[in-house]
Structure 1
């Protein structure tokens, strides 16, 4: 783990009067400790890098304090290995005394650490992963998400396809749970004909056979979910196959984390999202400007959601007067979400997932040559996820 010490340390030489301070006052003088979990090794490290950099920029904008208290951030590389993530997170809580755990890109990592974190009554805030069980019957009083339920971005594209009047659509995703969830999310809103559903191996790099099937079927559009390197290869090969005249609808396939590798091939392709660099509000403009100035690349939603989580924590701890010991008061303060989001509208539902807007966005090349997603139109306004009704929030 990498340790980032933020804020001033108290002087080591403590007099008798300092030692006699009430325990609550002394606890409030100590730094708030945050364990920041992200994948920082392997082929998916770019996603974790966005997450980490977004949170650290938030801390910089907050002058390295949370709720008026100094803060210390421990960056934890989950290695995209559930066993490693559990071991490191337990150490962060038991040895390093972290007050809150934030982050997580992938749902399998979140599923692994959920119980070890929350059973200690430590708050866990996911800035990306949002598996539907945790939004429904598995909701938890010590768990919040600043992102979305996984299915929602795919549902955005199903609605967009419906609104566009497409009648025949093909679906292509990797053959694992998240891929099938993506197809289900799309179909939950699309009422036309699904011409074919193609499920590819998660390790596939050559899509020539699948692209031939798409060309032969001549659908009105393709919907796909191909994250990371899968998306890089698919987008390039889609253009090379001359299929650019068939609208390319996706989620987590073309975004700022992979656009530098996809380049011109992704321009004009669509995605469903909660956020883009172009959303017109003051908080977002500051975030994007300062992020690019500090890190020299265009942020993705992984960074934006993590940035928001820093401000969420700051608002909650400030609302409790810096007191982290009263778990009920801190939970209520987090639920209040009294901060300015880079997304504009943001509130928590009863299941601790956001009630927020969702957008149809298109990839564009900027005047400076960099690529980004740009919002086209709002598809869902202040939407509640479809699993919230199943949540019966257990008592703390």
Structure 2
């Protein structure tokens, strides 16, 4: 009888132990929403590739816990984004959503995701509204607020003494934010301020207006395939040598192979470039090139940082992301080595970070890439953080 009792106790303890292991190893579902089709698909794909790179390096785990990544294509359509967000939250029961490529998509789903207390780890879009009054304790953005890169270029234009600048951007939230950022630090009156459709790829009319204005320089924001089309047409019109082209998110590792050598000399603003000289960035660039056979873009870099942030925070809560206050605190700590160097969150859960100016050059392998030529702003907060009620 005593032996039978001992065996029963042993079997019960073993069963509990195995159950504990099963719970501990239960995968965490993470939703990924991005542009994965159409002319802007490169942005979402690089975000996805950057995130997957760390997942591969960690053996499919984050924070030591297996992860199932559920991918969704928002197709650059807010209605589609709402459908896939609802599917991830209500059917897939994901506790975390990452990605989000464009600000119009972010604005269509941000409130729904965060009000359902799902953690939103945004790795690209950073519209002014969610940095300000519409911020949420459930959002953690690992990219930038939309104005910031343009602020750096605006300061660069001021430092260069340009007095007459034409500005071009798509007519949607990110375009408006970026133009606002440029004007925040470029105080001269603009020669022209031109807005285009988000699907427009023929810029001949706008380029005629540029020629008529005879500017000192041109500042343009066109993401993804739009940037390739604009830069090519700008060069074909013979404007590259007449009017210096200043940009944000027109020239990057995605667009440069398509634009070609006419991109040499274009200036761009951003939070990171492949030439950053810190250990995490060097490791990331090397690993990304080895896996995907191309230079990583900023989109991949900021999504890799999103995965690093989650790896750190999930480890801190030992995989228990259902403990939302603890997981929120762990995310806020941002206890990871970022590809950009120093990283911390402001009160609105957007990064405090430097903003740099880069120029298109060729690397030692003859490939077009971005070289850092200045840092107008070191660790600083976005222009909207004071409007966010979070502490």
Q: How far 1:230 moved relative to its partner?
A: 2.5
Partner of 2:354: 357
Is the alpha carbon distance of 1:109 and 1:231 closer, same or farther for their aligned partners in structure 2, counting shifts above 3 Å?
A: same
Question: How far off its partner does 1:340 sit?
Answer: 0.3
Unaligned runs of 5+ in 2: 1-10
Seen in structure 2, the aligned counterparts of structure 1 residues 362 and 336 have a Cα distance that, compared at 3 Å, is same
Counterpart residue number, 2:71: 75
Map 1:1-396 to 2 at 5 A: 17=13, 20=16, 27-245=23-241, 246-393=243-390
Per-residue Cα deviation, 1:55-91 (whole angstroms, up to 9, x for no partner): 0001122232211212221122222222222222322
CA distance, structure 1, for counterparts of residue 41 and residue 116 of structure 2: 29
Greater C-alpha Rg: 2
CA distance in 2, matches of 1:17, 1:35: 36
**CA, structure 1 residues 203+94, in 2 after alignment: closer, same or farther (shift >3 Å)?**
closer
> Aligned-pair distance for 1:16?
5.8
Secondary structure, aligned partner of 1:223:
strand
State the TM-score, normalized to the length of structure 2. 0.91
Contact 2:104 2:173 in 1 (8 A): no
Q: Compared with structure 1, are the counterparts of its residues 85 and 173 closer, same or farther at alpha carbon in structure 2 (3 Å cutoff)?
A: closer
For residues 114-163 of structure 1, give each alpha carbon's deviation from its aligned partner in whole angstroms, at most 9, with x where no partner exists.
23322221111100001111111111011110011111111111111111
Deviations, residues 162-213 of structure 1 (Å, cap 9, x unaligned): 1112122111223344333322211111022312222334343333333233
Relative distance call for 1:300 and 1:328 in structure 2 (3 A) is: same
> Whole-Å Cα distance in 2 between the matches of residues 302 and 137 of structure 1?
26
TM superposition shift of 1:24: 8.0
**Inter-partner Cα distance in structure 2 for 1:121 and 1:18:** 36
Query: The residue matched to 1:181 in structure 2 has which SS?
Result: helix
Q: Tell which deviates more after alignment, 304-313 or 68-77.
A: 68-77
Greater helix content: 2
Distance 2:130 2:124 in 1: 13
Deviation at 1:22, TM superposition (A): 11
**Mean CA deviation greater in 15-24 or 133-142:** 15-24
CA distance in 1, matches of 2:18, 2:390: 34
- The 2-side partners of 1:215 and 1:331 are apart by 51
Q: Distance in 1 between matches of 2:93 and 2:268?
A: 40
Q: Give ranges in structure 1 of 5+ residues lacking alignment.
A: 1-14
TM-score normalized with structure 1 length: 0.90
Distance of aligned partners of 1:147 and 1:207 in 2 relative to their CA distance in 1, 3 Å threshold: same
Distance 1:92 1:207, change over 3 A: closer
